[in-house]
Structure 1
Amino acid sequence: MYRHRKALLVCLAAAATVPMLASCDSESGIPAADVHHDAPAVTASQSATAEPSTTSESTTTTQTAPAAPVGEVPTNAAASAALQPWVNDLVTNPSSLAAKCWTISPLNTSKMYADQQAILAAVAKPGKDGQFAVTWTGPTQTVSVKRSEISSGYACPYVYPTGTQFAYNDADARHTVRRYLARQIGKPVNADDVESKYPLVCDNSATWDPDGTGQSKIAPLRDDPDKLTGVTGYTDSELTSQPGRLDYVTVSVPVQNSSGVTASKTFTLRVGSNGYCIGDVV
């Protein structure tokens, strides 16, 4: 299983969000790593996405000598063990990371993983187990992995400048919706991308209040998980994102049903302990 927004700061070591800019997955708005090129829409009979993240990877990692050391985490031995194969690939086969790290938008992996030496300097330090993630802090870069990544055995990290708070961005929000829709049409970006392992729907805590009414409730999609039953495809190249009120963000995308009717659907997301989660779709 290889693998913003105004007030809310949720760090991976203490995961965070910052204000987001309106953006889109069109060729004029987003670099090619976040766009499809093979077809205008993704359907149940097609590959869920033409991004590198669609590549299916073996869940078994060959045991080889470490390409670079990963510092131990005194309270979480599994963390360094799960990060090690990723580090090996960073050193020996960096072009494979976009495909193996399918939980993260390829647009983000291409940027985050660019400074190999700074990353290696960070992971060589002892790691620290935090509330939501394990982090390795270097002179210039911090490497952080979520618990779901550690559980997978191949931990794809988020990397951000040391001394700053990590911020999920609009590409993260769009990729969350992309993965959700790919599951809905039966073509997940990876065979292991299932809700029980990688939750995409907001949990059942009564904290959902995108309109800022002061009256929180359970996210509507949690109460009614069948809102998109019957979806057979979606137009990935037209995924767009906009900042919402407070710490929420919306992602819109045209979707198709079994009758061939196309309609725009708008997803509302917020950041939770596992990154962006979807709370509603209309």
Structure 2
Amino acid sequence: MKNSAASPRRTRVVRTALPLIATLALVGACDSAVGLPSEQSGATSNTPEATTSTTTPTTASATTTTPPPIPPGPPVGEVPGNPDAAMALRPFVGDLTGGGIGVVTARCWTVPPTDIPTMYVDPAAILAAVAAPGVDGQYAVTWTGPTATVSVKRSEIASGYACPTVYPTGTAPVFDAADAVYTVDRYLGRLAGIPVNPSDVEETNPLVCDARQTWDALGTGVPTVPPLVENPNILPGITSFDPDSVFVTGQNGIYTQVNADIIDAAGVYQNRTFVLAIGGEGYCIGDIA
């Protein structure tokens, strides 16, 4: 999604059959210029038989506007009320059709690497979808085609290079085990000083759940602020972690549990449990046990 390529650190993402459905809610003006004719009255002579002279009314010239130039590459439909969305998706579409999977894999580091070959496997279906006007929803912008729907999160649009989620038209996007594992992998990479990309920071690419009182992983019936929001330093300073140890270990309703092996600043090995839920940007981390 960003301008710089992903770091050479290889991430192994373990997929399990734990789909979690997240629905994304969906969400002109015209100008006119009016030219007014001007009139000029004639003068009357001082002869007994006065004659009246008339002048031909003149009409103000119509205002002409020059449409903006059409960007190069495959067409991407504009989104009413959100011009940045199409602008951010065009570079991705151009790279996918001009460079292929290898190019977008290097740039779409917010997407699990194992998802890219299957999600972007049909460029023709993606082009058919994005050629239509997009719809601005609550959490994302979507373009819907005959066979594929293309959805772009707001953080992707803000980056200027939008890596979309693509799923069959008529279904909802699925956030599965690969997404949960990759979220934890990115989070630990940041703490250990080896992010998947230098631009992967919390301010622009949130991985922690927001501060609303919606967290109830234990099923108490009394939602609270996610513990990781109240105490962002739950994890001690870590120096490294084992990417091969990051995997999904359980699911309880809308919550998914991911375990990982880390080494803290004192050189002590720990196995930590991360609890995730679905937020506006996909999976988010709400607690670390």
Q: Flag whether TM exceeds 0.5 (same fold).
A: yes
1:183 aligns with 2:190: yes
Q: 2:238 aligns with which of 192, 209, 231?
A: 231
SS in 2 for 1:263: strand
Partner of 2:207: 200
Q: CA 1:13–1:87 in structure 2 vs 1: closer, same or farther (change >3 Å)?
A: farther
Structure 2 counterpart of 1:132, which letter? Answer: Y
Q: What secondary structure is seen at the aligned counterpart in 2 of 1:79? A: helix
Distance 1:238 1:12 in 2: 31
The yes-or-no answer on 1:174 pairing with 2:181 is: yes
Q: Which residue of 2 aligns with 1:2?
A: 2
- Residue of structure 2 equivalent to 1:76: 82
Report how far residue 107 of structure 1 moved: 1.0
2:73 to 67, 71, 84: 67
Separation in structure 2 between the aligned mates of residue 240 and residue 187 of structure 1, nearest angstrom: 19
What residue number does 2:218 align with?
211
CA RMSD of superposed structures (Å) = 1.8
| TM-aligned CA deviation for residue 231 of structure 1 | 0.8
- Give distance in 2, aligned partners of 1:13 and 1:154: 22
The Cα offsets for residues 202-257 of structure 1, whole Å up to 9 and x where unpaired, read as 11111111111101111111111011122111110121113421100011010011
Partner of 2:155: 148
The residue identity in structure 1 corresponding to 2:197 is N
In the alignment, the residues of structure 1 paired with residue 164 and residue 250 of structure 2 have an alpha-carbon distance, to the nearest angstrom, of 25
Asked if the contact 1:5/1:247 (under 8 Å) is kept, the reply is no
Q: Aligned residue for 2:8?
A: none
**In structure 1, the residue corresponding to 2:252 is in which secondary structure?**
coil
- The equivalences for 1:15-94 within 5 A come to 66-94=72-100
Q: Give 1:2's aligned amino acid.
A: K
* 1:35 paired residue number: none
Provide the rounded CA distance (Å) in 1 between the counterparts of 2:18 and 2:264. 32
Residue 65 of structure 1: how far off its partner (Å): 5.5
- Deviation, 1:66, is 2.7
SS in 2 for 1:106: coil
Identify the residue that residue 265 of structure 1 maps to in structure 2. Answer: 272
CA contact (8 A) 1:5 1:248 kept: no
Larger Rg over CA atoms: 2
CA distance in 2 between counterparts of 1:168 and 1:100 reads: 20
Whole-Å Cα distance in 2 between the matches of residues 159 and 242 of structure 1?
26
Give the aligned residue type for 1:119.
Answer: I
Structure 2 gaps of 5+ residues are 4-16, 27-69
Counterpart in the other structure of 1:37: none
3-state SS of 1:226 partner: coil
TM-score, length of structure 1 as denominator length: 0.78
1:280 corresponds to which residue? 287
CA offsets 1:39-78 (integer angstroms, 9 cap, x no match)? xxxxxxxxxxxxxxxxxxxxxxxxx953211111122111
Q: TM-score, normalised by structure 2?
A: 0.76
**Residues 9/169 of structure 1: CA separation in 2 closer, same or farther (3 Å cut):** closer
How far apart, in 1, do the equivalents of 2:214 and 2:268 lie? Answer: 34
Work out the CA distance in 1 between the residues paired with 2:214 and 2:71: 46
- Return the structure number with greater relative CO, CA threshold 8 A, min gap 6: 1
Alpha-carbon shift at residue 185 of structure 1 (Å): 1.0
Contact kept? 1:251, 1:267, Cα under 8 Å? yes
- 8 Å CA contact 1:233–1:255 kept in 2: the answer is yes
Structure 2 residue aligned with 1:109:
116
- Paired position in structure 2 for 1:240: 247
Name the % identity: 50
Aligned length: 232
User: How many angstroms apart in 2 are the aligned matches of 1:12 and 1:193?
Assistant: 23
Shift of 1:80: 0.3
Amino acid in structure 2 at the alignment position of 1:161: P
Q: How far has the Cα of 1:166 moved from its partner? A: 0.9
**Structure 2 residue aligned with 1:39:** none
